[in-house]
Structure 1
């Protein structure tokens, strides 16, 4: 009886079980939001382990195995076109940190791959497998012969550009050995992986980190300067690639975790998958991007116009675009995301438990983009009309780029609409602008990569252990100086006036994290004092104090006492606990979908971003503020405790998106379960210590996120006291009781508007009274009647425009030009108007205004019938008007 093909989840389970049985600690996947400041996302399975592989942070275990979620969008344009390109993928990996090396890594990989399925392996036929090694790595080649019995022709040696790993900067490096599956002659030419043909699919890469590389550029241009003291193994097996091979389907998009979305896209569009290549590509794009977006949002990424949010927004919009090309112009996300949720929830249950929030974000983004497409089409239609009116056949590249970059309007949609209108698009100009944008992004990434390379200065310091934070219970802690860094270099001492980084064994000073700003304070010791400018965590487990030496000299191994500014810490604790209070109040009023998506707090101030797609009414803001202050009044007990992560979540503690949590977490309860969150910040001991919350603003930070800002404690009181003083002053000035001020002010505003209307009417009448005198001054200038006069000083350009257009109308249908100048707000302004007969004779207002403005020392222009200019030299008004007469031949 034929058994069912291995599911993706089963392949994952077999991999992890295999390595658990061989002494590996199984660790959970890290978030898609990478800790590495040079990366937007976790782009490879090795990213979470870089600090261990480079020696920056001591590894917690000698051997590890995991299944890591990854996002990679560099090849986004290839999605759907090849059998293996996907933006979200899962990398199975086994890791050795100074434990086993090449032989064991090769043995493990071969054993798992070739052990029959009924014996717990993956059941690959050894005859279908090829391997590559680095061309000079005879050791690995020998192990493949010994362990796997592979013939030499199926062990191919390749160069540094493909089979050598490094971070791209000086540091660990080493040869790779890759395992490929041969799909057979029906899929391409013979010759093995060296042919770089799609017939051979890479399924596993074994990296042997054994050397230290020096400076260099590119993948191959660097030298090896020595061996590492500890040799590491980093492997990665592409789960989706193994799944599509084991499930007997043609590509990545047809496996069990992806195909349901593809089928739903086919059902909605009425298209048959497999009937048309272009439609197939679009359905694959939909299947891939919906799954990727689902996983990103489950890790707390929200759509926005920058960074990670921009990548998510691009995935969602490409999905809408693909469905549009499949003939569907209505909303499809409710159906598509539900399919992806059901396909992924067995492995990632959070996509189901958090689906209300995820779907709210996705559906709102789709609605917004459908409206964007409508407005973008209007902008494009105008550009098409203007292009045609100018007698051109090509739409400008900068117009296409503006639509793409500013409005999120896809270039392929621009091409399609332009083609329907009989126009082409200047792709070379568009591509040049895109290349310029990408070049800037790459330069920024390279700069960040160089910056992270400098983190190696912390390696030895981190090797001495984690910095102990004592500030939860102490405001002053005696310790010793472990290290001093000046300008990125470790030094033995820092002198008066210098700015340096100080690493202590213990510290009471809070490092900026979890939305809470760093503490203020000092570090003191025998004969020296240091003003603390900032406190950060440059690498996991290490706290660095940026200081200025204000007195004396500090050296490594000196005794050092960290002293927290008590007033500042009190304010910071109030603000952080206040953030939790407002978050709980928001959820009480708006519901569980109003989930915190970011925060910042410091002494006296807090801001909180939350997922929501519409502004809060004044009544809602007042309700949230009242609930928050009632919680403060009720003097709720604040309890902090450390618990295993799973136990904390079981208690209902909220994990905030974008935050990283270890196996043991700190839970902060305010009023028991009323507010229960995972948080490493500092907090008050009871809610009454917060004092007061005063919401000062509520605003948008994107189509699906809002922001509230609040003053806290004494700062909240001072703000309200200032408002009280203003109200008292108004009440006294207007001789009106406080409660009647709004009505009194409204009456005054209404009276002022009525008076302004009357004044405007009088001024307009006064302006128009000048028309007869101007008409009398009309004379000939070439083929037209011309009125060119200095109107003196006027209140606004609108007055001058009214005068010009009225005179033009009174001059009748014969060719006529009116050019009037005036001083408006201490600056000269000239306005020129022409009638149709004058324009037919060649008189253009825009050109005349531009010439006059240049005489005034400025610039101007406009349409052929009405144009305006200005300058800085009011004494040149008569000369400017003369230039108009001269231009007309007068």
Structure 2
């Protein structure tokens, strides 16, 4: 058996199935596209689901992929065993209604025995217990002996996900030898020991399960297979675990070098090495696919992986930041298959480094708090950390719950997850509600699913805004209908349409569908299954019927406004990359007729100078009037031209390229201007952060930019009128006014201090004795904290020996200051404890040193009541 590298196995597999007529498709991003049922892609089949359901037409009936995947249900076991990991690659060959068992089974056998040259006597196949057809193919056609074919039950060898497509499966196993077994003489395929490794699952999707549990044969059965690449590499390299496979071991060895440790010498050290090795692979691939650290969703998965790895680095004694350079090692061994790792390496490294830095700032403080909590638990003989303490670690120090659980688990402790979840309840309910608002079913519905898959829509709106086409179907109140009358809302399918359907951040067109008997006002257009354009409208005149010929007209002015904004987003992205760096990539957009909204990767607020530079670059292109050219080409040619692809978009082999002169080149399916000068003018109106590492720019163009500048000009005139100035000199007038205000404030402050000095005698006269100590407890007219503290200092100095407690209302709050001379502190007085009790009554809190403390409160109406408790508190403190 050949000793093959992981990268070699991947290429051999894809090449083998290419020779069998399969289209080799690139791995989909880890972030699911148009699928809310998953946080992250977790199988080779997941990105292809629309092809199996019929929602989209596959680019070929035969497809082969190597799909990058993330699975985190067993994250707690990653590192603790050598079998668990979060990142893996899944090889798969798929048939969409083309070939079936009689091809899939022999091809699988041919690949493993002839290409990989695995000895036949080491191979076993499992089948579903009732699948006699699969048994016949394996036994009679392939030639496996019956004692190497195992029948297993539904739990092991039948694939289904709720209702919808499902079917039996057949798995291939490799026998590692009796020395890896459990010693049971009956050990066989299906045993939980390490002897028989399952490495390839062939799913025969031949049934459609309905809600009553009935299994109906599919007219066109499908093939869905999955082979774990890392698992196959362990077999071909004759190693025990994925961590010993060549590409993964490269990363592992680098980590050992950083920590100056040796793998497989100390199990505790090995756990940390495996955690870091696995997690840095996951993190690197996730960031490359646009995931950023956050406190929810897939961003939370990334954050917990990264922070778990960082903490295990500390356990290994690695000082400082160390994770971000490891991304380069992942790219080194996987960059040929996944070029995005090398293309985005600078960006990946920066994201990881920034998150490392954030965690580094708080981890030591968090660890001290957790260690204190653990000591307290042990002292009390308890085993469970409170959920409140765990939440504080999460909320204040950025400790994901499972990191806290990891650390506790090492000392035999647990955490009260129920009370932690109570602390998180509101946040989780919001997230849950957001997900329930979306479609999270595995097989989604479509209003036109009753139509044959051959009924499609052709979009002609790139070249014309008006056409004639028959109405081929309508839906009213959720049901198919043949006609709709005035006042009724209706969904319409046209054979050919000029209406752009919402996609790629561009909203759908408005317009009109007109027949001889009626008119439909179109208020939106969206894509349904098979990319059908669904027109949302209301009948405004007469009656409209299916099969009528219709004249379809797009709102021309609105389409042009949208095109201005869409072309401008291309120019904006290019300008941002020139000003900020190549790490900038689109993270979302919205283009409508009023404005454009562009989200992008960046890690800090843009300065005024940067925004000005971006805006200037876009307008310079507009003023030079380059032509906007649109053409189709293959993906390889588009890449040669430097075309930027948008994250989260699916692209076929033939792609649509939009070029704005020689300045911008992007893959895009949207509608655009013919010449950049049609933008008119480009004006940025806001820039803000919308998530960790994501900034958002909003801008206007054309007439909207003109209206915006008019509004700003009117505001300027209004301000000038208030200041009794001209717009030309309003800036100088404001500066002069502010200077006058500052001068008056200084004069007022001097007067206030003089008044305080003059009133010191009055306060001294009001002093009382508490346990033999002179004490001033007084409220003062409205006074800021600095002045209040200054007055307190003067009174204490005047008393020489004594206590001062002052309270003052300041707008909608109250301030307190407490002070005591050194000799009084020696008698037990504590200003910090006094002021805490006083401020609590006024809706605040605070504290400080024994000799001086200050606090604030939110209830100025409670000032006198708060001061009223001071005497009793002081009496308890002072030892007479």
Report the TM range for the smaller structure's normalisation.
0.7 to 0.9
What's the CA shift string for 1:819-861, capped at 9, x where partnerless? 7576x65x695858585557579985444554x55xxxxx455
CA contact (8 A) 2:774 2:801 kept: no
Q: Which residue of 1 aligns with 2:177?
A: 184
Deviation, structure 1 residue 338: 2.6
**C-alpha separation in 2, matches of 1:24 and 1:322:** 43
SS at match of 2:210: strand
SS of match in other structure, 1:600 = strand
Q: Which moved more, 1:394-403 or 1:24-33?
A: 394-403
Pair 1:838–1:53, CA change in 2 (3 A): same
Are residues 41 and 548 of structure 1, via their aligned partners in 2, closer, same or farther at CA, if it must alter by over 3 Å?
Answer: farther
User: CA–CA distance in 1 between the matches of 2:189 and 2:429?
Assistant: 32
Q: 1:323 Cα deviation (Å)?
A: 2.8
1:603 alignment partner in structure 2: 593
Report the 3-state secondary structure (helix = DSSP H, G, I; strand = E; otherwise coil) of the residue aligned with 1:223: coil
Q: 1:664, 1:698 → 2: CA distance?
A: 35
Alpha-carbon distance change, 4 to 842 in structure 1, aligned in 2, over 3 angstroms: closer
Residue 167 of structure 2, aligned match among 153, 174, 191: 174
Shift of 1:707: 3.6
Instruction: Write out aligned runs for 1:239-278 (5 A).
Output: 239-278=229-268
Question: Quick check: 2:629–2:660 contact (8 Å CA) kept in 1?
Answer: yes
Q: Could you tell me how far apart the structure 2 residues matched to 1:381 and 1:743 are?
A: 54
- Cα gap change, 1:524/1:617 in structure 2, threshold over 3 Å: closer, same or farther? same
Aligned partners of 1:86 and 1:288 also within 8 Å: yes
The residue that corresponds to 1:358 in the other structure is 345
Contact 2:331 2:345 in 1 (8 A): no
Partner in structure 2 of residue 521 of structure 1: 511
How far residue 259 of structure 1 moved from its aligned partner, in angstroms, is 1.9
Partner residue of 2:192 out of 177, 190, 196: 196
- What is the CA–CA distance in structure 2 between the aligned matches of 1:623 and 1:443, rounded to whole Å? 41
Work out the CA distance in 1 between the residues paired with 2:475 and 2:773: 79
The structural deviation recorded for 1:12 is: 2.5
User: 1:47 corresponds to which residue?
Assistant: 46
Measure how far apart 1:585 and its partner are.
Answer: 2.7
Contact 1:821–1:881 (Cα < 8 Å) also in 2: no
Give 2:105's aligned residue: 106
For residue 759 of structure 1, give the secondary structure of its aligned residue in structure 2. helix
Q: Is the CA contact 2:453–2:530 (under 8 Å) kept in the aligned structure 1? A: no
Q: Distance in 2 between matches of 1:70 and 1:702?
A: 24
Q: CA deviation at 1:27?
A: 3.4
Q: Structure 2 residue aligned with 1:464, among 447, 451, 454?
A: 454
Distance 1:161 1:419 in 2: 32
Return 5+ residue gaps in structure 2 as ranges: none
Matched residue SS, 2:331: helix
Give the 3-state SS of the residue equivalent to 1:94 in structure 2. strand
Secondary structure at 1:723 match in 2: helix
Match of residue 140, structure 2, among 139, 146, 163: 146
Aligned to 1:692: 681
Q: 1:165 aligns with which of 140, 154, 159?
A: 159
Q: In 2, distance between residues paired with 1:762 and 1:380?
A: 51
Quick check: 441-450 or 252-261, which moved more?
441-450
Q: CA deviation at 1:571?
A: 1.1
Per-residue deviation, residues 214-258 of structure 1 (Å, max 9, x unmatched): 33xxxxxx7224222222221111122111111112222222332
Q: CA deviation at 1:688?
A: 0.9
Return the offset for 1:72: 2.6
Distance 1:270 1:391 in 2: 33
Q: Distance in 2 between matches of 1:488 and 1:806?
A: 80
1:710 pairs with 2:699:
yes
Counterpart Cα distance in 2 of 1:275 and 1:102: 47
Deviation at 1:677, TM superposition (A): 1.3
The answer as to whether partners of 1:794 and 1:800 remain within 8 angstroms in 2 is: no
Instruction: Find the aligned partners of 2:156 and 2:429 in 1 and give their Cα distance.
Output: 24
CA distance in 2, matches of 1:641, 1:759: 71
Report the CA distance shift for 1:782/1:590 in structure 2 as closer, same or farther (over 3 A).
Answer: closer
SS at match of 1:455: coil
Query: Paired residue for 2:285?
Result: 295
**Hey, what's the Cα distance between the residues in 1 that align with 2:321 and 2:350?**
8
1:758 and 2:751 aligned = no
| Number of aligned residues | 859
Which one of 598, 619, 628 corresponds to residue 609 of structure 2? 619
Change (3 A) 1:790 1:318: closer
What is the DSSP-based 3-state SS (H/G/I as helix, E as strand, rest coil) of the residue aligned with 1:400? helix
Instruction: Work out whether residues 97 and 233 of structure 1, in 8 Å CA contact, stay in contact via their aligned partners in 2.
Output: yes
**CA offset digits 1:476-506 (Å, max 9, x no partner):** 3333434444565555555655555433333
Displacement of 1:332: 3.2
Compared with structure 1, are the counterparts of its residues 81 and 883 closer, same or farther at alpha carbon in structure 2 (3 Å cutoff)?
closer
> What's 1:205 paired with?
201
CA deviations on 1:791-840 (whole Å, 9 max, x unpaired) are 6x6366877787778767866756x6857576x65x69585858555757
**What residue in structure 2 maps to residue 545 of structure 1?**
535
Task: Name the SS for the 1:676 alignment partner.
Answer: strand
CA deviation vs aligned residue, 1:62-92 (integer Å, no higher than 9, x gap): 4333322323333333334444433332222
Q: Are residues 478 and 788 of structure 1, via their aligned partners in 2, closer, same or farther at CA, if it must alter by over 3 Å?
A: farther
Deviation of residue 327 (structure 1)?
Answer: 1.8
Alignment TM-score, normalising by the size of structure 2: 0.85
Relative distance call for 1:416 and 1:579 in structure 2 (3 A) is closer
Give the drift of 1:592. Answer: 3.7
TM-score norm. by structure 1 comes to: 0.84
| Residues 51 and 96, structure 2, Cα contact 8 Å, conserved in 1 | yes
Matched, 1:214 2:210: yes
- Counterpart Cα distance in 1 of 2:642 and 2:833: 77
Of residues 655, 661, 685, the one that matches 1:665 is 655
Q: Take 2:136 and 2:759, find their aligned partners in 1: how far apart are those partners?
A: 102
| Map of 1:137 onto structure 2 | 131
C-alpha distance in structure 1 between counterparts of 2:136 and 2:409, whole Å:
59
Matches within 5 A, 1:51-450: 51-115=50-114, 121-150=115-144, 154-168=148-162, 170-189=163-182, 190=184, 191-215=187-211, 223-304=213-294, 306-333=296-323, 335-352=325-342, 354=343, 357-378=344-365, 381=368, 397-404=387-394, 407-409=397-399, 426=415, 428=417, 432=421, 448=438, 450=440
For 1:388 and 1:839, how far apart are their aligned partners in 2?
A: 32
* 8 Å Cα contact 1:846-1:868 kept in structure 2: no
Structure 1: distance between partners of 2:618 and 2:202: 55
- Structure 1 unaligned segments of length 5 or more: list them: 116-120, 216-221, 854-858
1:856 aligned partner: none
Q: Would the aligned equivalents of 1:130 and 1:192 in 2 still touch at CA under 8 Å?
A: no
**Matching of residues 493-642 of structure 1 within 5 Å:** 497=487, 499-551=489-541, 554-642=544-632
Alpha-carbon distance change, 561 to 654 in structure 1, aligned in 2, over 3 angstroms: same
Aligned to 2:5: 7
Cα 1:245–1:337 change in 2 (3 A) is same
Q: What's the offset of the Cα at 1:886?
A: 8.1
Distance 1:386 1:399, change over 3 A: closer
Distance 1:741 1:877 in 2: 43
- Distance, in Å, in 2 between the alignment partners of 1:452 and 1:458 is 18
The alignment yields a C-alpha RMSD, in angstroms, of 4.2
Contact 2:123 2:175 in 1 (8 A): yes
SS, match of residue 566 in structure 2: helix
